[in-house]
Amino acid sequence: MSIDINQLFDARYYALMNPDLAAAGINTDDKLYRHFRNNGLAEGRPFSPFIDIQVYRAENPDLEKNGLYSNEQLYRHLETYGIKEGRKFSRLIDLNLYLSENPDVNQAFGGDRELAFEHLRNLGIREGRKFSQLMDLDYYLALNPDVAAAYNNDKLGAFNHWIFAGRGEGRQYFPNNLGILTGADNINPVNLVKTDVVGPSDRDDYYQFSLNDLSDISIKVAGLSQKANLTLIKDDNQNNFPDDKQQLLPIVAKDEAIEAIDLFGVSPGNYFIQVSGSEGDTNYDLNIYAETSELLRKPSGAGNSPGTALNLGLLIESQVVRDVVNPGRSQNFYQFQTNRQSDVYITLEGVNTDIRLQLVRDTNGNGLLDPDEVVETIANYKEPVDIDRNGEIDLSEFFAWLDGTNQEVPYPDAIIAQNLLPGNYFVQVGQVGEPTGYTLKIDGIPAPVPAEGATNENPVSWGNLGTLNKKAKPVVTDFVGYGNPYDFYAFFLEKSSEVSLRLQGINNKADLILIHDINEDGGFSGREIIKFPSAEDGADYTLNRLLGRGTYYVGVAKAKGETAYTLSAEVISENLPPDGAGNFIGQAADLGVVNGVQTRRDFVSAEDPDDFYRFQVNDFSQLTLFLDEQTANSQVYLIQDVNGNGLVDGDEVIVGSESQGAYREYINRTLTPGTYFIRVAHAMGPGSYYLWMENNPITPPAQTAGNSLATAKDLGVLNGWQQEAGLVTGNNEGGDRNHLYRFNLESASDVTILLDEMSANADIRLVQDRNNNGQIEPEEIIAIAAATGASPEQISQSNLAPGTYYVWVSQTQGNTAYQLNLIPNNYNRDTGHGLVDAAAAVAQAIGSESFPEVAPLGGTDWGLDAIGAPKVWQQGYTGKGVVVAVIDSGVDYTHPDIDDNLWFNESEIPGNGIDDDNNGFIDDWRGWDFLDNDNDPKDTDPVGGHGTHVAGIIAGENNSFGVTGVAPDAKIMAIRSLGIFRGEEDPITGGIRYAVDNGADVINLSLGSQGENPEISAAVRYANENGVVVVMASGNDGLSAISGGQRFSQKVYPAQLASEIGLAVGAVEKNKAIADFTNRAGSTPQNYVVAPGKEVYSSLLSDRYDFWEGTSMAAPHIAGVAALIISANPNLNLAQVENLITSTANPFGLTENGIFDPLEL
């Protein structure tokens, strides 16, 4: 069967919900029905209390994607398929809930939703069956005794009363009404917790609350075992019902699990919280916090007229102000000046009601706003506009936004003043609707910008240069500066070509960036950058590259100040150079005997996927190899054809480098004399590469190991790391094939043995000569590690009894050097020392017993629970008095979760233009910007936020909003050393040394690159020498495909220094699985621990928050733990702090589920 929509038509309801019809004389049942069929259906007018077409459209976006645009089409689909398929069609009616709450109905109709719907309409409501998350008829009757008396407690009568009278009268019907959270009667913050279940059997839960004052609110859901989404809905039309058209925050796309909403300056009014889930039933705890907005408690500084405006000064860099409009501050004025003709971009963020935004010029100088003084502007839509005000972004509105043809809206929240002449101007922000908080941002871009230039509407826009070939040679002129720090242009190549890009006509340093859309997703990521800015950029600059077929983006980025530029692009040649390498081992290009440096350039693609090179080593040597200047994703492997069959067998790959995207590949290995092969392999996208290799003879390691139990090298008592190097050689007839080492345990111990850095196959065994006969019997071999090829070997033994033990290193195939590490604990190649335990570390730091358990925070704070931070806070240690330097992209120090925890240089007097403390930096009262060499380290890049996210993880304020940092009372020293596309060594080096010299206790480095940079390494050592804890992200290259994923990508620098100084950090997920992207600890013992690094919630620019992932997010957890330790015991030295972090880390319960994916970007 199918549902007949005509039978659902309710003339009385149609008239009630469409009062304009009565005025037009449409007031009888017949006239109302004919209007519905002829006009109302197409117009989407509500016609039944059981059906809401707007809900059907919003909850089933696949229908529009499949061509069902009109309301008639959607109605027909709902009639024929929608109810049967279990699609959501109403906020009020929930058929899944009806079936789950009424099992007799479910059984009687075999789960048929159409029959269940008929039963609900005809009998279910009258019988008082539960059918809605919003409507509880028992509750309605209990709260409205006059209704109960009038209808004699009849449920159908009560339902009709609510539909036609009660809702309009404002009667209470909703059981989950939390009441008024803020206002005159609620001067203290409100913190509520609600517990329930959501999932397929009960898809939506709703909670209602009211705000009587401008408020800051935080809504979080915790304790989930399945995904759940939060949505905040504002009851704009005050009908006491969560209509879709009043949906305030559909926070992200429907398929993402949103667990937190944090908003500042929310308007007074009535709101609904929706908790929804569909993947599986899950319990949840809903935490709601609300307080009168801090914006009302802070002085504004802005006046209510041009004459009293807050002067922001000369518009050189972006100006950002947080403020509020309400009846007490109905309008705010801000003054700024321009000294050149400019396009001025003015944006309001965080607005949740209509607001007036105008640009004014006080031409008569009377300090008042006169009618003729409003400057003409155009709306600058940051997102699609609901032109027809139906509460939905229809396809036509979405495409209007894409092509820039948005119609006018009364109160745009972003405007552009084009070709603004030099002078003095004012921005007026005025209240139109309810009170609201906002963040005002003003940017100036010198004008005019040529029409053919880059697109500046939002940070990921780009101009289009079209298809490049021998005939097409586009040239564009544009400008980069503080208001638009970079321009991008897309171009397409139909065939592999050598392309020349030229940047000319600049009067300030600018950077040239080249990006390849390697994964063909229509955009770009950092891993697709194939040419980063370099020291050579800045003057006229030409870049020639051999590029494969595909889409590319060339970017021009501001480096030092503002500049105009001219960018040209042309194809030099459409012919690939001859292939200089063979396609398999038998055809490998012969490099001969390699002593010193050799280089090669070539090209790989899906049609030519492999390049092989053969070289000879005559001496014991050290090989260093880079694969650089990649224009796509290629990988490199070192191979020895041990069996001489001319094929690459799985156990013949010595080592490989498999970074994702276009990142540099790096191999470093000790080689014995022999013939070796290099394979450069295509992974994704056609592209060229530059192979650089250097091989130099070195002295072989001294052969100190014995060849038998009796002659085994004595390592003594194993009470710390021990490292040995050796060389096993020979064949079946003889040689030095077996090395033995002896060690003692004085007490029961955990022991880890690692063997790595081989160029051929060697194995290890752990032996105990129990009968003391000096021979190794099979039953005396406690453990063996015998992976194939040159794969690393690992033996881990827990609670090994006291006694004497032997490690036996044996050659299996081929001569090889090796590195042997013995560690008296559960150090692991994947997770190092394990998951950091802040509570255990701080307890040991103060000589205390274990701290008592505390209730978990849950939800977005899962990472704090995972490392035990709340247990430390409970003891009174919160990082107070500790300074953590964040050397990153800067910090948004105006963010409400960071502003009170910013470090201030108390020896510097702000704004006096004098270096008061003689540290070489003038007015560095809040840190330093080493990129632009000024005293403002704010994170302002339009697509930035990395440093702000890191800072929130370390020291987000414990204010019941957003994010609470690991050390919520530590101070953040903001140092800007990185840009979105910039990571030069000098700003990083300068930032590290500045942090050390100006009192930082801890330095966080969520950054890195392949290959050591001597200057940065020297700066890290400088920090170490001065007792500063340095925490470094290990990198995001993940597992290697070699040997089934048993090889690990090397940690990036400077994290590789953790074998001697500092702390390297990998990432784990909520379930304590190693994050697939993280670079693991590896076989060389070092100060490596893991911390939460996936789905980490923290602060972003413009008072926002979001979930990010990466070892960049794991490292600040460790920086925060270091701050907790130092605050608990400031007398500890650097070595003691690092040892507390590593020795108390928990190696147990962590799982390795990583899957190598070379194509993931």
Residue 386 annotated in active site? no
Nearest Cα residue to 454 out of 495, 510, 399: 510
Class of domain 463-573: mainly beta
Question: What residue ranges do the domains of the chain occupy?
Answer: 5-166, 180-294, 299-446, 463-573, 585-697, 713-823, 838-1143
At residue 390 the predicted structure's pLDDT band, cuts being 50, 70 and 90, is very low
Give the mean model confidence (pLDDT) for residues 733-744.
88
Q: Which of 274-283, 523-532, 1015-1024, 1052-1061 has the lowest mean pLDDT?
A: 523-532
Q: What does the pLDDT read at residue 478? A: 86
Residue pair 1133/983 in contact by the 8 Å Cβ criterion:
no
Residues in the chain: 1161
Q: Worst-scoring range by mean pLDDT, 12-21, 743-752, 1146-1155?
A: 1146-1155
- The whole-number pLDDT of residue 450 equals 45
Q: How confident is the model at residue 1040 (pLDDT cuts 50, 70, 90)?
A: low
What pLDDT sits at residue 1156?
A: 42
Whole-number percent of the chain with pLDDT over 90: 52
Residue 1020: band (very low, low, confident or very high) from pLDDT cuts 50, 70, 90: very high
Euclidean distance between CA atoms 98 and 103, whole angstroms: 9
Topology (CATH level 3) of domain 180-294: Jelly Rolls (2.60.120)
The answer, yes or no, to whether residue 1045 has pLDDT greater than 90, is no
Catalytic residue among 946, 977, 1009, 1098: 946
d(CA 375, CA 883): 46
Is the confidence at residue 616, as pLDDT, over 90?
yes
pLDDT at residue 399, rounded to an integer: 46
Q: What is the mean pLDDT of residues 132-149?
A: 90
Q: Which of 888, 892, 923, 1076 is catalytic?
A: 888
* Number of other CB atoms surrounding residue 260 within 10 Å: 22
In angstroms, what CA-CA distances link 531 with 344, 601, 687? 31, 16, 13
Tell me the whole-structure pTM to 2 decimals: 0.81
Contact 419, 341 (CB under 8 A): yes
Q: How confident is the model at residue 452 (pLDDT cuts 50, 70, 90)?
A: very low
Calculate mean pLDDT across residues 224-248: 78
- What is the reported pLDDT for 447? 60
For residue 611, pLDDT over 90 is answered with yes
Confidence of residue 391 (pLDDT cuts 50, 70, 90): very low
- pLDDT score of 255: 42
pLDDT band at 331 (very low <50, low <70, confident <90, very high): very high
Give yes or no: 946 in active site: yes
Residue predicted with more confidence, 654 or 410: 654
1084 vs 1090: CA distance, rounded Å? 16
Whether the predicted pLDDT of 573 surpasses 50? yes
DSSP 183: B
CB atoms within 10 A of CB 176: 18
- The one catalytic residue in 496, 796, 977, 1112 is 1112
Question: Greater confidence, 210 or 385?
Answer: 210
pLDDT given for residue 381 in this prediction: 60
Which CATH number does 838-1143 carry? Answer: 3.40.50.200
Q: What pLDDT, in 10s, does the model give residues 1072-1126? A: 999 988 888 887 888 999 999 999 999 998 788 999 999 999 999 999 999 999 9
Asked whether 1103 and 437 are in contact (CB, 8 A), the reply is no
Q: Stretch 315-332: mean pLDDT, rounded?
A: 86
pLDDT value at position 451? 43
Q: Do domains 463-573 and 838-1143 have the same CATH topology?
A: no
285-291 average pLDDT score: 94
* Residues ≥6 apart with Cβ < 8 Å to 56: 63, 74, 78, 82, 87, 88, 89
d(CA 1130, CA 1134) in angstroms, rounded, equals: 10
Averaged pLDDT score across all residues of the chain: 87
- Kindly report, residue by residue over 178-214, the tens digit of the pLDDT: 989 988 666 688 999 999 999 888 888 999 999 998 8
Task: Using the predicted structure, report yes or no on whether residue 5 has a pLDDT greater than 60.
Answer: yes
Q: How many other CB atoms are there within 10 angstroms of residue 799's CB atom?
A: 8
C-alpha closest to that of 891 among 709, 1061, 744, 1099? 1099
Q: Can you name the CATH fold of 299-446?
A: Jelly Rolls (2.60.120)
Closest CA to 293 of 212, 230, 367: 212
pLDDT at residue 943, as a whole number:
66
**Four-point Cα dihedral 880, 886, 890, 896, nearest 10:** -30
- Residue 888 bears catalytic tag: yes
Q: Which of 98-102, 378-382, 951-955, 1012-1016 has the lowest mean pLDDT?
A: 378-382
pLDDT in tens, 475-507: 998 888 776 778 889 999 999 999 999 999 888
If one counts every other C-beta atom within 10 angstroms of the C-beta of residue 898, the result is 27
CATH architecture assignment, domain 585-697: Sandwich (2.60)
Can you list the alpha helix ranges (DSSP code H) found in 530-594?
Answer: none
Domain covering 713-823: architecture = Sandwich (2.60)
